[in-house]
Amino acid sequence: FCSLFLLGSSQRLAAADSIPVTAAIAVIQHTAGNETAGIVTFTATEGGVKVVADITGLAPGKHGFHIHEFGDISDSVKAMSSGGHFDPASTHQHALIPANHNVAGHHAGDMGNLVADGAGKAHLEMMLDGVTLMGPVNSIVGRAVIVHAKPDDGGQPTGNAGDRVGEGVIGIAKAK
Ligand code: CU
Ligand code: ZN
């Protein structure tokens, strides 16, 4: 009787472990003194994770755009609690995406630049490889999207992108 109970509970655990996560979302809010806002969605596809970003309240031009290690936005002033670029493979190497997309072994969280128009709006669609929405190592769920004040120029260690003007935690979304 006891072993049957244990079997039942382990089956429930296995079932819970296998619920697929195919969509995630980060709602971007501004840090102190900024007006950045918007939505970033992540969708699991056969070719990787598709990223679609719509951001407003930016200065016209390029803004570094990254996944950072921690989904901790308790520092609402400067967003430093989100840590550095998500780097599950411990490459310690930054790359400008997509120009250096084939640089071997860069931070998985490197997403290049948003490009804001004269009205301060940016739209970006890209495929992000090296990350997943599930699993213990490469999953970006629970981590943070950061929008920077300056362009990501590809320099080490983080692209010289300056202050963090927007931040959002990546959470599980309803599958589409
Ligand atoms: Cu960043
Ligand atoms: Zn990086």
* Per-residue pLDDT tens over the stretch 84-124: 999 999 999 999 988 776 667 899 999 999 999 999 999 99
Classify residue 94 as exposed, middle or buried by CB count within 10 Å of its CB (0-12, 13-18, 19+): buried
Task: Name the closest ligand to CA 107.
Answer: 2
End-to-end CA distance of the chain: 42
pTM over 0.85: yes
Q: Is 12 helix (H, G, I), strand (E, B) or coil?
A: helix
Question: How far is the centre of ligand 2, averaged over its atoms, from the C-alpha of 80 (Å)?
Answer: 15
Confidence at residue 54, expressed as pLDDT on a 0 to 100 scale: 98
Question: How far is the centre of ligand 1, averaged over its atoms, from the C-alpha of 65 (Å)?
Answer: 6
Q: Which helix (H) or strand (E) holds 42?
A: strand 37-45
Question: How far is the centre of ligand 1, averaged over its atoms, from the C-alpha of 36 (Å)?
Answer: 14
Task: Name the closest ligand to CA 66.
Answer: 1
55/39 Cα distance (integer angstroms): 6
**Mean pLDDT within 161-172:** 98
